[in-house]
Amino acid sequence: MTIDGTQVQAALATFGTGTRLEVSAERIGLLRYARSRVTAQHDENRLRVRVRLERDGKVVIGTLETLETDAVRAMAERLDEAVRALPSRPAGTRGGQAHHGEPMLPEVSEVTREADAAERFAWFDTVRKGLGADTGLGGSIRDEVTDRVIADDTGLYRQETLTKASLQAIADRDGRSASVKVLHRDAAQVEVDGIADRLLAELAPIPAREPISGTCRVVLRPQATGTLLATYGYTTLGAAGYAQGRTAVAGRLGEAVASDKVTIVDDGTDPDGLPSGFDVEGSPRQRTPLITDGTVAGVVSDLEHAGVTGGVSTGHGVPFGWRFGADPSPSHLFMAAGDASEEELLAEVGNGLLISRLDYLRVLHPKDTLVTGTTRDATYWVEDGKIVSWHPPVRFTFRMDEVLNAILAVGAERERGDQTFMESVTAPAVLVDAGPFSL
């Protein structure tokens, strides 16, 4: 499915002055499986049109699943009626330059574009056979091709195509589970053959132990670090919260807020993530240093809050009516790798935990970075730097800023992941000193 530029221009003319459109044409292929059997397999094509209409300082939004003339005209009439019904207010002012420079558009993977149901099944079958009959397999395989257009009545017209392939595999045996998630813009770069061996290594028969209590050092593997990093970035590193004093880094530019082992940037142009060229306002993604050697270096912004970032948007506006809020938010986070192997990180743990995955972190208090969440899949107890037993899942309540301050060492290998509120996050393993995680 592609986007017809003529239809986009016709829709802009129908909606009239003050209109911005975000149009996405998506082709999604999905295979789901549980207990080593396919439970769903389908391909879906859909068109999504988000409309933002601003007149006399009043803003209304609407959504469509077509650009057909009659549907656009009907939506235009509803939005016009809605905006006239709102009380008058002073027109808003943008805080910075609009659409600064030209975006760097990502490469399109033809392999991902051509992926089909047979190839998804072949991936699933490779992992299933590699695990063997005594190990259950669940998860999903997904390939996506998205054509995006951002256009407004001033003449702005941005267009790009994004591709993404992902495989999540959760293996279970004897009441224990391990998981792997791999994703890349290019399906040809997803290394399927080694996934079963990785999972089987995590399910090696070792004793289980009772849960410990107290505090201990912890190693977070890359997928766990990525979840922590994404949640911290979303709650803490946006310009709106910074300007309004609502975040843990507000007013602290140039101050230390994390261990000097921590360097974080947001970069939608880096191919090590899942690149995209521009945000929903059409502003190009800008490489944005956020934390450098533990010190606050910046935040991400949109047009309204560009005054915080030198008068130019960093390209981090969020979709109209986004369920995660209206503030600008990081989209492509990277934490710099260190030089430690996993074995070296474990050696520094002494006695402590190795956590492979953190389940969804629920934010309890954004400014204090207080969250709660659980471990999931392959949590281990380590003694004298060696994995000796399985540890039951652990529920933690902790402050993310305290964890970042307690990082003692950083792993050399990074993994790419994603979150529902972030396009990609690329992170290494980290060693966290005793204290922030209390069991």
Model pLDDT for residues 227-237, shown as the tens digit of each residue: 999 999 999 99
Residue 18 falls inside a structural domain: yes
Residue 128 falls inside a structural domain: yes
- Distance (Å, whole) CA 332 – CA 6: 31
- Distance (Å, whole) CA 220 – CA 358: 9
Q: Do 111 and 49 belong to one domain?
A: yes
Residue 439 falls inside a structural domain: no
Residue 418 falls inside a structural domain: yes
- Give ∠ CA 169-175-180 in degrees, rounded to 5: 20
Q: What percent of the chain has pLDDT over 70?
A: 97
Q: Do 190 and 243 belong to one domain?
A: no
pLDDT higher than threshold 60 for residue 364: yes
pLDDT higher than threshold 70 for residue 87: yes
Confidence class for position 433, pLDDT limits 50, 70, 90: very high
Q: Do 195 and 221 belong to one domain?
A: no
Q: Residue 121 CB: number of other CB atoms within 10 A?
A: 15
302-360 pLDDT per residue, tens: 999 999 999 999 999 999 888 888 899 999 999 999 999 999 999 999 899 999 999 87
- Distance (Å, whole) CA 241 – CA 233: 12
Domain range spanning residue 46? Answer: 5-202
Confidence class for position 1, pLDDT limits 50, 70, 90: low
Confidence class for position 436, pLDDT limits 50, 70, 90: confident
What mean pLDDT comes out for the span 249-267?
A: 97
pLDDT at position 282 is 94
Residue 317 falls inside a structural domain: no
Residue 211 falls inside a structural domain: no
91-145 pLDDT per residue, tens: 555 555 655 578 999 999 999 999 999 999 999 999 999 999 999 999 999 999 9
What mean pLDDT comes out for the span 41-52?
A: 95
pLDDT higher than threshold 60 for residue 431: yes
Q: Do 226 and 372 belong to one domain?
A: yes
Q: Do 22 and 136 belong to one domain?
A: yes
Q: Do 132 and 241 belong to one domain?
A: no
Residue 24 falls inside a structural domain: yes
Residue 193 vs residues 130, 138, 413: alpha-carbon distances, Å: 8, 17, 19
pLDDT at position 359 is 87
In terms of pTM, does the model score above 0.85? yes
Q: Do 100 and 241 belong to one domain?
A: no
Positions of E strands within 267-320: 288-292, 295-296
Q: Do 179 and 224 belong to one domain?
A: no
193-225 pLDDT per residue, tens: 999 999 999 999 999 999 988 889 999 999 999
Q: What percent of the chain has pLDDT over 90?
A: 87
What mean pLDDT comes out for the span 393-420?
A: 95
Residue 78 vs residues 60, 87, 88, 122, 321: alpha-carbon distances, Å: 10, 16, 18, 47, 17
Average model confidence (pLDDT) across the chain:
94
Q: Do 339 and 365 belong to one domain?
A: yes
Total tally of structural domains belonging to the chain: 2
* In contact, 26 and 65? CB cutoff 8 Å: no
Q: Do 88 and 222 belong to one domain?
A: no
Q: Do 243 and 96 belong to one domain?
A: no
Confidence class for position 252, pLDDT limits 50, 70, 90: very high
What mean pLDDT comes out for the span 153-168?
A: 96
Q: Do 227 and 266 belong to one domain?
A: yes
Residue 309 falls inside a structural domain: no
**What CATH number is associated with residue 67?**
3.30.2290.10
